[in-house]
Structure 1
Amino acid sequence: MADEIPEGDGPLPPNLRFLRVLVTVLTAVMILGVLTVILLLVIRLNDIRGPVLVHPEVFSIPAGVNTVGYSVVDGYTVIIGDDGIIRVFASDTQELVQQLDLNE
């Protein structure tokens, strides 16, 4: 029979060799890409910072002044009193840095 396939495989045609290398490289790049995305997700999701808890009671506010609002901005705690004065404290040392009078 003339239609029989020979048992010894010869070398692949150049186009098929190129396609084989191209598919292998694409597979490797896709595996590296998926691993990179997974690694970045793990790093990003583990970097969750907890909320900053501030208690205005620990800062030295004059007696008789109630706190209307407070906030934490760049390492400073801003406390607004009902006397119309904004007090800016250093969050780490709890020292008064600046006072702004809203009534002026």
Structure 2
Amino acid sequence: MEPANLRFLRLLVTALTSVMMVGLVVVVALIVIRLNADGPTMPDQIVLPDGVSATALTIGQGWWAVVTDDNQILIYDQLTGALRQNVQIGQ
């Protein structure tokens, strides 16, 4: 027969291990759910001026900006896809 302290310790370790395993499953499930969530909405096709290609894209609240290879920032409306502003960067 084992002492009462040892029996209590064994039950405590078993309970803590079970709680840790359940917590790990919950954390992994939340990460998977978060990664599968829909991201920001963008138009299916970005219409850029002829001869220009995009090097970066930034999405803001109600707008998105495309940085082009000819040093321009094209700011588009997120809902309509219309060009709001064209900003020239440096030279």
Contact 2:65 2:75 in 1 (8 A): yes
Task: Give the one of 48, 60, 65 matched to 1:78.
Answer: 65
Match of 2:8 in 1: 21
Q: Note the C-alpha offset of 1:39.
A: 1.3
Give the whole-Å Cα distance in 1 for the aligned partners of 2:59 and 2:8: 54
Give the whole-Å Cα distance in 2 for the aligned partners of 1:70 and 1:91: 19
Matched, 1:100 2:90: no
Match of 1:47 in 2: 34
- Distance 1:56-1:45 versus aligned 2 partners, 3 A rule: same
Moved more, 20-29 or 88-97: 88-97
Query: What percent identity do the matched residue pairs reach?
Result: 14
Q: C-alpha offsets along residues 5-56 of structure 1, whole Å, 9 cap, x if unaligned?
A: xxxxxxx77xx11111011011001101001101111121122245765521
Task: Give the one of 63, 68, 80 matched to 2:53.
Answer: 68
Give the whole-Å Cα distance in 1 for the aligned partners of 2:56 and 2:15: 50
List runs of 5+ in structure 1 lacking aligned partners: 1-11
Give the whole-Å Cα distance in 2 for the aligned partners of 1:26 and 1:92: 55
RMSD of aligned residue pairs (Cα, Å): 3.2
Give the whole-Å Cα distance in 2 for the aligned partners of 1:83 and 1:19: 73
Matched, 1:56 2:22: no
List runs of 5+ in structure 2 lacking aligned partners: none
Q: State the AA in 2 paired with 1:101.
A: Q
Q: TM-score, normalised by structure 1?
A: 0.57
Which structure has the larger Rg?
1
